[in-house]
Amino acid sequence: MNQRTLINTIWDDLPIQDGVLTPAEIERVLRAFGRVAAAELLAGFEVPLPGLGRLVTVQRKARSGRNPRTGHPVRIAARMAVVFRARKDLKDALKDQE
């Protein structure tokens, strides 16, 4: 799903299609959400995604890896990463699809 499809799908799903909320406004809401989520994650907080789960930051340890082109060992530095943690009901729904 690309960004335009997401926006149009949200707009189609909303019951207020009488001009109250346009696809352009939905796009602005999603962009604002992205800015707020990034600020919260940078501050060390979790970001809830209602009905889906939450975004959290985790510390990745430094590790060794391999350059896929040359095969030489390389050192991968420690870093912060963003991880999605799914709600139990979403996990169960995906498990039922198998």
Does pTM surpass 0.85? no
SS3 of the chain: CCHHHHHHHHHHHCCCCCCCCCHHHHHHHHHHHHHHHHHHHHCCCCEEECCCEEEEEEEECCEEEECCCCCCEEEECCEEEEEEEECHHHHHHHHHHC
**Per-residue pLDDT reduced to its tens digit, 8-62:** 888 888 876 566 788 888 899 999 999 999 999 999 999 999 989 999 999 999 9
Give the model's pLDDT for residue 11: 82
Mean pLDDT of 63-67: 96
